[in-house]
């Protein structure tokens, strides 16, 4: 006997739950009851020694504890021992968080939380010789659910229009020419030619929580600057990106690193000139302007996920 595939499936550390029989004849029926619970608040109050009431500090959310609970089935007693070993060994890395991913056909896209095992998994043999009960306690330090990353967007830096007068006004001007170009005319009047680059990129977030952003800036770039058009928060790094090096700015961890590979990246937070780290608002979008102090050469790429409670 095997368990059938269920509409809602889960995956953790390479193991898939509720998908029916796998290639080794194993099947599971499990649930994560706490998955949809809102994360617990961390209210902070300091009682006033002289006066009514208390002082209130920001009410942040704590990490989230969850359990994978259910039943696993094997085809034989010896196969059950292999299944028990597989389940007992999930998430054994000491310094690693693993994505717990829920695939729900009633939601548009998979959602993941990054978790570790915080207590002893309880995988117990049942008397029929082929069944196991499963209880795996998990903890998510960041209590949000993340979609797969949205498609990356990129732009070069903002640049002015090229040669000639750039006509950007009414064809029937009243009160003079509406002028938006170079004062040094080359080649006569040019209608909206060489308009340059606005240096803007737009990021969206369909979730109900703010979404952090990862920016990657390539060379050549001197003193790169990122500005949130809506909030006017600014992130500026003082330095020159050359060769095949690239700068990564993570607005979640507020870490900035420079290098040409993951192995030789160095933290450069100490050379930040402005550190107004920003995110994509819930169920909204953000426009980001990119500039630096060279004429041309660099590109910024930005990636974010949709984030939910």
Domain holding 260: CATH number? 2.60.120.860
Distances (CA, A) of 52 to 45, 46, 47, 55: 13, 11, 8, 10
Do 179 and 273 lie in one domain? The reply is no
Contacts of 23 (CB under 8 A, 6+ apart): none
| Distance (Å, whole) CA 295 – CA 221 | 9
Do 9 and 142 lie in one domain? The reply is yes
Contact 132, 71 (CB under 8 A): yes
Task: Report residue 261 as tokens.
Answer: 């590979």
Do 79 and 58 lie in one domain? The reply is yes
Q: What is the CATH number of the domain that holds 100?
A: 2.40.30.200
Q: What value does the mean pLDDT of the chain take?
A: 89
Write the DSSP string, 223-266: S-EEEETTT--EEEE-SEE-TT-EEEEETTTTEEEEESSSTT-E
In the three-class reduction of DSSP (H, G, I as helix; E, B as strand; rest coil), residue 88 is classed as helix
Do 173 and 300 lie in one domain? The reply is no
My answer on whether omega of the bond before 112 falls inside 30° of 0, hence cis, is: no
Do 19 and 94 lie in one domain? The reply is yes
Over the Cα atoms of the chain, what is R_g? 27
| Distance (Å, whole) CA 269 – CA 246 | 14
For residue 183, the enclosing domain spans 160-196
Do 168 and 245 lie in one domain? The reply is no
Contact 299, 164 (CB under 8 A): no
| Distance (Å, whole) CA 183 – CA 259 | 41
- State the total domains in the chain: 3
Do 133 and 187 lie in one domain? The reply is no
pLDDT band at residue 198 under the 50/70/90 scheme: confident
Contacts of 194 (CB under 8 A, 6+ apart): 161, 162, 163, 164, 166
In tens, the pLDDT along 265-277 reads 999 999 999 999 9
Do 184 and 107 lie in one domain? The reply is no
Do 86 and 174 lie in one domain? The reply is no
pLDDT band at residue 99 under the 50/70/90 scheme: very high
H-run or E-run covering 164: none
pLDDT in the model for residue 173: 56
Distances (CA, A) of 251 to 71, 111, 244: 40, 20, 23
Contact 185, 164 (CB under 8 A): yes
Q: What is the pTM of this model?
A: 0.81
Contacts of 276 (CB under 8 A, 6+ apart): 228, 233, 234, 235
Q: Choose among 237, 229, 234, 235: nearest CA to 281.
A: 229
Q: Which of the two residues, 195 and 93, has the higher pLDDT score?
A: 93
For 28-37, 111-120, 151-160, which range has the lowest pLDDT when averaged over its residues?
A: 151-160
Do 220 and 268 lie in one domain? The reply is yes
pLDDT in the model for residue 62: 95
Do 210 and 265 lie in one domain? The reply is yes
pLDDT in the model for residue 87: 97
Do 175 and 110 lie in one domain? The reply is no
Q: Is the confidence at residue 247, as pLDDT, over 50?
A: yes
In the three-class reduction of DSSP (H, G, I as helix; E, B as strand; rest coil), residue 228 is classed as strand
In tens, the pLDDT along 121-176 reads 999 999 999 999 999 999 999 999 999 999 999 999 877 655 544 455 555 556 65
């Amino acid at each position: 006997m095997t368990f059938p595939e269920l509409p809602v499936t889960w995956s953790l550390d390479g193991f898939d739950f509720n998908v029916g029989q796998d290639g080794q004849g194993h099947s599971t029926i499990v649930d994560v009851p706490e998955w949809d619970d809102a994360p617990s608040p961390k209210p902070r109050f300091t009682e006033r020694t002289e006066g009514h009431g208390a002082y209130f500090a920001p009410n942040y959310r704590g990490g989230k504890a969850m359990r994978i609970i259910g039943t696993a089935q094997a085809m034989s007693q010896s196969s059950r021992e292999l299944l028990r070993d597989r389940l007992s060994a999930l998430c054994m890395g000491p310094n690693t968080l693993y994505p717990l991913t829920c695939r729900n056909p009633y939601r548009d896209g998979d959602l993941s939380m990054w978790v570790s095992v915080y207590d002893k998994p309880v995988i117990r043999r049942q008397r029929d010789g082929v069944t196991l009960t499963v209880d795996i306690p998990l903890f998510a330090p960041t209590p949000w659910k993340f979609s797969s990353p949205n498609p990356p967007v990129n732009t070069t830096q903002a640049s002015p229009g090229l040669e000639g007068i750039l006509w950007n006004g009414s064809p029937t001007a009243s009160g003079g020419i509406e002028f938006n170009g170079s004062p040094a005319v080359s080649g006569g009047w040019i209608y909206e030619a060489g308009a340059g680059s606005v240096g803007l990129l737009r990021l969206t977030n369909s979730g109900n929580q703010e979404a952090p952003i990862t920016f990657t800036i390539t060379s050549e770039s001197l003193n790169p600057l990122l500005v949130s058009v809506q909030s006017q928060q600014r992130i500026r790094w003082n330095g020159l990106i050359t060769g095949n090096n690239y700068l990564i700015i993570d607005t979640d961890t507020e870490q900035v690193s420079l290098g040409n590979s993951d192995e030789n990246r160095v933290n450069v937070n100490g050379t930040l000139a402005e550190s107004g780290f920003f995110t994509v608002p819930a169920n909204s979008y953000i426009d980001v302007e990119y500039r630096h102090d060279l004429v041309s050469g660099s590109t910024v790429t930005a990636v974010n996920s949709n984030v939910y409670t």
